[in-house]
Chain A
Amino acid sequence: MSTLTALARAQAVAAGRAQPIATVRHLHVHDHPLVLIPIAMAGEANAPLAAMIGTEPASPRLLVVRQPRNRDDRFAFFADLAEELLPYLESFATETEEVPVDRGKDVRLRYLDAPQIWLPNPAGVDFLRLLGRSTRFRTVDGEHPVPAGVPLLGRWLTYLAGSAEVPGSSLLLTAVQALTLHWATGQSSAEDAQLGALLAWIESGAAAAREAENGPVAGPATDPDFDNRVLAPLIERSAPELPEVLRELLLPTWDRMWRTLNLLRRLPAGERVRLRWDSDRDAYTAFAEYVAEGGAPQPRRDGAVAAAARLQRLESAAARYAVQRAFDDPLVLAEYRLSGAAFAGVVTLANPNRVDDRGKRPVLRPRIMVHTTEPVRMEPGTSLTSPARTAQKARVVSVAPAGDGFDVLLELSGGMGRKLVAEPGSVPEVGERLVLTTLSEAYRPGGSLPDPSDTPWTHGGPPEPATDPSDATDLSAAAD
């Protein structure tokens, strides 16, 4: 928790209302998202009880498992879910664009759009991941056949749950995380996990939030009291009104999901959100193609090489996401200023046409002096970037105390054109206000990994083909 966000929480307590902690939106909000609210059956290993799903606020579809312990009912639910979800997921695999690769020598295709699924909370993502695990290895023939679409649903759910772990990805989002990324409430993060209370802090205030705490839950877990008083009797006597009761349970959350989307839409999107959505479209394209070619279900666990590669991807995505958020949003950048990884100041001297001719070829190396009243913790030699000119490096030449702060002498390189005279506007002018930070968007190459088929024996050897003999029969065993 940064001090800035903590301070926003304190302000929220005093104001009785949530406070903004972002000035722009840091995620992509789709024009046609799909909202999914899964509800689990308590006590069972990941058995669904119901789900509300749809792309239109006015017409949610309710899927219900009338007897959650009945295998056929459960797979009928999966089939229904597949029927809703798969057409949506596949509907974006149509029009493509060409993306240059290999320094423009080649192109690859990318779908123009990608799906976006919204869940209430991270627990819902875990639930979907396990649903994916319990369906992707099924087969539509053999000893325990499942309805068509179910194994494919499993692959997609597994994929989507995995994408939710990638920092900055907007393919599968949760309302709770999206809201807490942009607002701080006057309660603890544990309490923020409840969508009803969180949204009430933003929309109406503290009192409404307390009120909302006692309202219906957003799942996937149900309230034990609801289980015992309402659900158990209904299931016991296979009551026909069960779907109606579940609809009532889910509608308030359904409504909140769309209100969340509207709140987020009102924020202007950060400049680099587009870039991350491009990556999402790349990822979607690759997986949609894999599936279309009849790709095998994802393995139960990643092999050593795949796991290392995945970790590397997640780490670089996290680094990129952190930098992009800071560059997009002065309020996020302020956190780095507070911690000493950035400072703001005013240009007091500029020598825009300074040329360094000590080397073989003369190079353009303008120097500027920046005066700041903020602490400067950077050593000479450190390379800094200004969010206003990310293609340009500013190397710290010296830091000297001056007046009520410091004078920082910087030498610039890059982002000024190819000539020995800087392009107009590419060198900060005297009087310009700048923020300089150690954060950098520069590409950081990861280490190279062997091909999975060359996994050394010390790391388990090459992975086995993805089959799952261990629980081929287990659901039928659990069915009674």
Chain B
Amino acid sequence: MGKRLCEDLQLVPSFPLERGLDFPLECGLDFPWSAALTNDRLDQLRGAAKAKRHNARTIAALTGNPGCSRRAVLDAAGVDKLGLADRLGFPGSFGQSRFALSRGNAFEAMLKADDCALLRSVLGADDAVGYQDLNADSLGDRHARTVRVLTDAQAALIDHPLLTLDVAGQTVYLEPDLVAYAHHGRLQVVEIKSFAIVDDQAESAKVSAAAVQAAVYVLALRELLERLGQDPALVSHEVVLVCPENFSLNPKAVVLDVRKQLSTLRRQLSRLSSVTALIEALPEGVSFDLALDPEQLITALRHIEPRYAPECLSACELSVYCRHEATGGTAALGRTVREALGGIETVTEVLDLAAGRREPSEEQTEAAALLRAALRLRTEALAATS
């Protein structure tokens, strides 16, 4: 069991998403990518490499910067962004510590040992609640079984269901990292995390990341029920987070209301510019095949607009490259800095407007006046003391 759990926690998919799977479509799922044009085009964009698979984490990250077309296209095509960044000479580090992995595994294994005895007790589920692990099945089987099990589950813990989600016109599989808990006719998402809850408090960044990920699962489960003609509201917006308590490995379950995350997620997913349109607009021959020269790859990247922000540094594998490209822009300094500078695009423009070397455009007038006053005050205060 330990080894399998280990795979689940990895960021790297344990099996590739490949085109042309003999996928059972009997449940009426809709796969937009089967449109021949886009499909071939995606392969071409990606080159010979196998496609990277989405998981709740990458979708959460995707919505973290919904305005970025570059990321949307690369992710849709399953391009290995880490490899791409490496090839461009701007490697990022997005590894996960072995120590963190092994603790996470140990915690999860402990919860699921003896037919999930501990997990049951922390959830307050009785022994009549069955446990089904869908992990062992092949991809196609797994999704079919997920659908079957979820539709007639009355009281069960369903581990590793395979879910899908529509992201910017693309259906993506979610790396299953959750337990769906069916009880009293409702479905609840259970997320097991290995960060500690100390005195009922946990690191807020980790909790909010877990909440967004859980919201991705809730959304995917709801979409699934909807496709099956069932009531999506059967999936609870209250998710259960199971974490080690204090400085022990004793589990503690807390309920998170993810309604806010759900609506943000829905809004941001709907705002994600249609990837299909973006891809179709790309000139013939654009490719991110990692076998290409770095210069060719850079030329290809220039065709898709980025939207770099410092948040990218912790969320996107391409960030060191995009940061380099964004040098000299105020956006690279962070949203609040850019806003404080009146939304002016580049540092040069800011300094020229502040020094009065440049005529402001109509909509820059107000910002320019503020910048001029700021420069005057700054110079005055610094001159008085030096």
Contact = CB atoms under 8 A, between A and B. Distances in A.
Given A1-B340, A10-B350, A43 B99 contact: yes
Interface in A216-239: 222-225, 227-228, 231-232
Contacts of A337: 377
A399 interface: no
A225 B95 contact: yes
Nearest to B379: A334
B198 A7 contact: no
B99 A41 contact: yes
Interface string A448-480: 000000000000000000000011011101100
Contacts of A59: none
A42 B370 CA distance: 46
A133 B374 contact: no
Given A1-B336, A330-B381, A334-B377, A7 B100 contact: no
A467 B314 CA distance: 39
B300 interface: no
Interface stretch (B16-24, B45-53, B72-80, B244-252): B244-252
Contacts of B247: 45-46, 134, 471, 474-475, 478
Interface string A323-350: 0000000110110011000000000000
Majority SS at the chain A contact face: helix
Q: Which secondary structure characterizes the binding site on chain B?
A: helix
Contact of B384 (A11, A227, A330): A330
B165 interface: no
B198 A6 contact: no
A5 B327 CA distance: 19
A191 to B, nearest CB: 7
A8 interface: yes
B126 interface: no
A24 B337 CA distance: 23
Contacts of A223: 93
A187 B326 CA distance: 11
B228 to A, nearest CB: 39
A10 B331 CA distance: 11
Interface in B306-350: 310-311, 313-314, 327-328, 330, 332-334, 336-342, 347-348, 350
A269 interface: no
Contact of A331 (B103, B198, B246, B381): B381
Contact of A1 (B103, B248, B337, B342): B337
B248 A227 contact: no
B95 A13 contact: no
B371 interface: yes
A401 B97 CA distance: 65
Given A7-B350, A7-B374, A190-B313, A45 B246 contact: yes
Nearest to A191: B310
Contacts of B96: 224
Contacts of A13: 327-328, 333, 347
A471 B332 CA distance: 45
A474 to B, nearest CB: 3
A23 interface: yes
B246 A474 contact: yes
A300 interface: yes
The CB with the most chain B CB atoms within 10 A, among A3, A189, A223, A331, is that of A3
B370 to A, nearest CB: 6
A331 B378 contact: yes
Contacts, number: 162
A9 B375 CA distance: 12
Contact of A42 (B100, B244, B339, B385): B100
Contacts of B339: 1
A44 interface: yes
Contacts of B136: none
A338 B248 contact: no
Contacts of B163: none
A205 B366 CA distance: 32
B385 A7 contact: no
Contact of A3 (B100, B199, B203, B340): B340
B99 A232 contact: yes
B373 interface: yes
B95 A224 contact: yes
B249 A189 contact: no
A224 B248 CA distance: 23
A6 B97 contact: no
A400 interface: no
B99 A10 contact: no
A130 interface: yes
Contact of A190 (B103, B194, B334): B334
A103 interface: no
A266 interface: no
Given A13-B328, A471-B248, A330 B385 contact: yes
A131 to B, nearest CB: 10
Contact of B340 (A2, A41, A300, A471): A2
A187 B333 CA distance: 5
Nearest to A190: B310
A6 B247 CA distance: 41
A188 B337 contact: yes
B374 A4 contact: yes
Interface string A176-193: 000000000011111100
A42 B314 CA distance: 17
A133 B100 contact: no
A228 B377 contact: no
B97 A222 contact: yes
Nearest to A334: B377
Nearest to B95: A224
A448 to B, nearest CB: 28
A14 interface: yes
B33 to A, nearest CB: 33
A42 B95 CA distance: 12
A4 B98 CA distance: 44
Nearest to A68: B99
A11 B351 contact: yes
A337 B195 CA distance: 45
Contacts of B333: 6, 9-10, 13, 186-188
B248 A14 contact: no
B232 interface: no
Query: Which 3 A/B pairs are nearest by Cβ-Cβ distance?
Result: A474-B248, A43-B100, A188-B310
11 contacts: A1-B334, A6-B333, A10-B333, A14-B351, A133-B198, A188-B334, A224-B93, A224-B95, A474-B245, A474-B250, A477-B248
Given A6-B336, A43-B97, A338-B370, 5 more contacts: A7-B378, A187-B310, A188-B333, A223-B93, A224-B93
Interface of A: 1-11, 13-14, 20, 23-24, 41-46, 126, 130, 133-134, 186-191, 222-225, 227-228, 231-232, 300-301, 330-331, 333-334, 337-338, 470-471, 473-475, 477-478
